[in-house]
């Protein structure tokens, strides 16, 4: 069955921060919605690039040498292996796109490491 997915309806289904929820798969890639607020941890993904699309609000991503602000209607590709730390001063709603099985904290095991298989 082919069904469309409404981002706002999916965002209404959860409230926690930094816990990606899978909404779709395309081949072996997954689309995940996340609500974020405050600072995440420094980490990197050794084996894959990662895409952030801001659906609502504004986020920042710190890299070693710069910080990039990303607003609603904007996206960024984080290159494989590049250290980064996302943050949002106020709650923001974002979509991540990455291969199936990628863990949110990348190379770091932390208390905020979330399961990588939560569908909504």
Query: Over the range 20-48, which residues count as b (16 or more CB within 10 Å of their CB) and which as e?
Result: bbbbbeeeeebbbbbbbeeebebbbbeee
36 neighbors 86 (Cβ within 8 angstroms): yes
- Is residue 79 near a copy of itself by the rule CB under 8 A? yes
- Is residue 74 near a copy of itself by the rule CB under 8 A? yes
Between 14 and 29, name the residue whose CB sits nearer to a copy of itself. 29
- Is residue 26 near a copy of itself by the rule CB under 8 A? yes
- The residues that touch a copy of itself, with contacts defined as CB under 8 A, are 2-8, 24-27, 29, 31, 48-51, 55, 63, 68-71, 73-80, 82, 97-99
């Amino acid at each position: 069955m082919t069904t469309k997915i409404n981002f706002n309806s999916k965002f209404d289904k959860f409230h926690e921060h930094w816990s990606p929820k899978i909404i779709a798969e395309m081949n072996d890639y997954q689309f995940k919605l996340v609500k974020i607020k405050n600072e995440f941890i420094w980490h990197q993904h050794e084996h894959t690039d990662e895409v952030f699309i801001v659906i609502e609000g504004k986020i920042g991503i710190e890299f070693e040498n710069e910080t990039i602000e990303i607003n609603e209607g904007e996206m960024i590709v984080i290159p494989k292996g590049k250290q980064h730390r996302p943050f949002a001063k106020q709650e923001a709603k974002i979509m991540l796109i990455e291969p199936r099985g990628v863990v949110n904290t990348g190379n770091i095991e932390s208390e905020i490491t979330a399961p990588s298989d939560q569908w909504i």
